[in-house]
Amino acid sequence: MQTKPFRIGTRGSPLALAQAAETRARLMAAHDLPEEMFEIVILSTTGDRIVDRPLSEIGGKGLFTLELEEQLMSGELDFAVHSSKDMPTVLPDGLCLSAYLPREDIRDALIGRTAASLTALPDGATVGTASLRRQALVRRIRPDIQVTIFRGSVGTRLRKLDEGHVDATLLAFAGLKRLAREEVVTELLDPADFPPAPAQGAICIESRTGDSRVADFLDAINDRPTYDAVSCERAFLGALDGSCRTPIAGYALCEGDHLRFSGLILTPDGRQEYAVELEGPRSEAESLGRQAGETVRAAAGPGFFETWS
């Protein structure tokens, strides 16, 4: 029987705090434990401190995870809560993603100021985003649109939009819902023509490999369909070598024991692209994702990745 509170690591952004609170609430319900049995430990990460440059320029992996992972490994934390989308495809030795909460909506949302939808935005409109994937997907649909680098928390980006810096911005619908800000959304983008980032909308919990006490504790709230879908998407990203300078999109859907995956890689200008669709048993989620990644990689050829990076 655990008597000391579980120490839950998280970043300090409003979204990260909402995700940690949701995790705690699910664990309290699953194990019939009081709130006092959980301590939420807030850590600032390198990614939180750099707000003036696109992270894709800085490169390096794990900008949002390093500090949390150090504290996990030293035993200061029992587990850490993350947006799966921000997790590197390869984790440090000794750590693993042991559980996923039920996934939120996977779609991107447009928050339009001068028009409600991507197609209705004025000629030459500006869209604020720091995501290469969103930039490429916007340009693919509307080559006339200019992209302005937009960083900071969800709240900061919405404020910049309000102040009139851009005509519209794009955010994950999941994050807006978790922050109870979904009323700002003017258009939800269909994954068929605006596919989300791998792992978008899924909260994961990272813990020490071999810490079976914590793994068993977390297993009570693990959502298997999310686990399989996100494992497939992360394997796709991993097979593409996850360079954050390449626009990569993809999502898996579980239907019973079956899984369907759609993946897409593009040039940042959205003018060239390679798509892949694969399906198979959910039990092979990871290998399907890897296969999908290898397929688009081979189709694109080595030159594709060298054109701009």
Ligand X SMILES: NCc1[nH]cc(CCC(=O)O)c1CC(=O)O
Task: Choose which of 11, 24, 26, 85 interacts with ligand X (CB under 6 A).
Answer: 85
Piece in contact with ligand X (CB under 6 A), picked from 21-29, 36-44, 83-91, 273-281:
83-91
Q: Is 200 in the site for ligand X (CB under 6 A)?
A: yes
Shortest Cβ 285–ligand X spacing (Å): 19
Of 198 and 289, the one with the shorter C-beta distance to ligand X is 198
**105 class by beta-carbon count within 10 Å (0-12 exposed, 13-18 middle, 19+ buried):** middle
8-state DSSP, 283: G
Q: SS in 3 state form for 72-138?
A: HHCCCCCEEEEEHHHCCCCCCCCEEEEEECCCCCCCEEEEECCCCCCCCCCCCCEEECCCHHHHHHH
Interface mask toward ligand X for 215-234; x: CB under 6 A: --------------------
> Does 198 help bind ligand X (rule: CB under 6 A)?
no
Out of 10, 23, 83, 135, point to the residue binding ligand X (CB under 6 A): 83
Q: Does 172 contact ligand X by CB under 6 A?
A: yes
Q: Compute CA distances 300 → 33, 37, 44, 214, 307, whole Å.
A: 51, 51, 38, 42, 11
Write the burial class of residue 157 (CB in 10 Å: 0-12 exposed, 13-18 middle, 19+ buried): buried
Task: Give the separation between CA 16 and CA 19, rounded to whole angstroms.
Answer: 5
Size of the site for ligand X (CB under 6 A): 9
Provide, rounded to whole angstroms, the least separation between the CB of residue 14 and ligand X.
Answer: 11
- Under the binding rule (CB under 6 A), the answer on residue 78 touching ligand X is no
Minimum Å gap between C-beta 192 and ligand X is: 19
- Which CB, 53 or 213, lies closer to ligand X? 53
Q: Which residues are catalytic?
A: 86
The residues pairing with 79 across neighbouring beta strands, listed in sequence order, are 8
Nearer to ligand X, 67 or 211 (CB): 67
* Position 175 contacts ligand X (CB under 6 A): yes
CB of 37 to ligand X, least distance (A): 26
The verdict on 62 binding ligand X (CB under 6 A) reads no
Q: Is 301 left (phi over 0), alpha (psi -120 to 50) or beta?
A: left
Provide the H-helix boundaries in the chain: 14-31, 46-49, 55-58, 66-73, 132-141, 154-162, 173-178, 212-219, 224-239, 285-300, 302-306
- Answer whether 230's CB lies under 8 Å from 84's CB: yes
Residue with tokens 């990871």: 286
Q: By CB under 6 A, tell whether 86 contacts ligand X.
A: yes
Which residue, 175 or 225, has its beta carbon nearer to ligand X?
A: 175
Q: Which stretch binds ligand X (CB under 6 A): 117-125, 167-175, 238-246, 266-274?
A: 167-175
With CB atoms as reference, the residue minimizing the distance to ligand X is: 175
Which residues are near ligand X by CB under 6 A? Answer: 83, 85-86, 171-172, 174-175, 200-201
